[in-house]
Amino acid sequence: MIDQRPEGVKGGQTIDQDVFSDPRTGKSYLYWGNGFMAGAELNEDMTSIKKETLTILKPDKTFREGTYVFYRKGVYYFMWSEDDTRSENYRVRYATSDSPLGTFSFPENNL
């Protein structure tokens, strides 16, 4: 579905795609990226994105790949991999937002 990096992204790969369907709005979103995190609203066909919604999301410097999103009690949770899965330093991190394509808040202890 995603065959190129978003404009302005120089490195990384377009892998690890994840779909999130927002129970609040009924809209669905696609997230992807390795070395960068991108997200966009999906069209009703669920096979193409609304290009005008494409957003380069700004996780902290720990982001590697593997975005996963869920919604709970009015909060959107974004999870991702830090470091390589083969590394002894591999971890899963998270941030929260009030929007599926919004600005992140980073809890202090979020492993």
Q: How many CB atoms lie within 10 A of CB 57?
A: 21
Q: Could you tell me the two tokens for 68? A: 């996963």
Q: How far apart are CA 44 and CA 102, in angstroms?
A: 21
Q: What is the pLDDT of residues 36-94, one digit of tens each?
A: 999 999 999 999 999 999 999 998 888 889 999 999 999 999 999 998 889 998 999 99
Instruction: Specify the pLDDT at position 109.
Output: 81
How far is 98 from 82, CA to CA, in rounded Å? Answer: 23
* Confidence check: pLDDT of 21 > 90: yes
Kindly state the tokens that stand for 4.
């190129």
Q: pTM for this one?
A: 0.91
What's the average model confidence in pLDDT over 21-26? 97
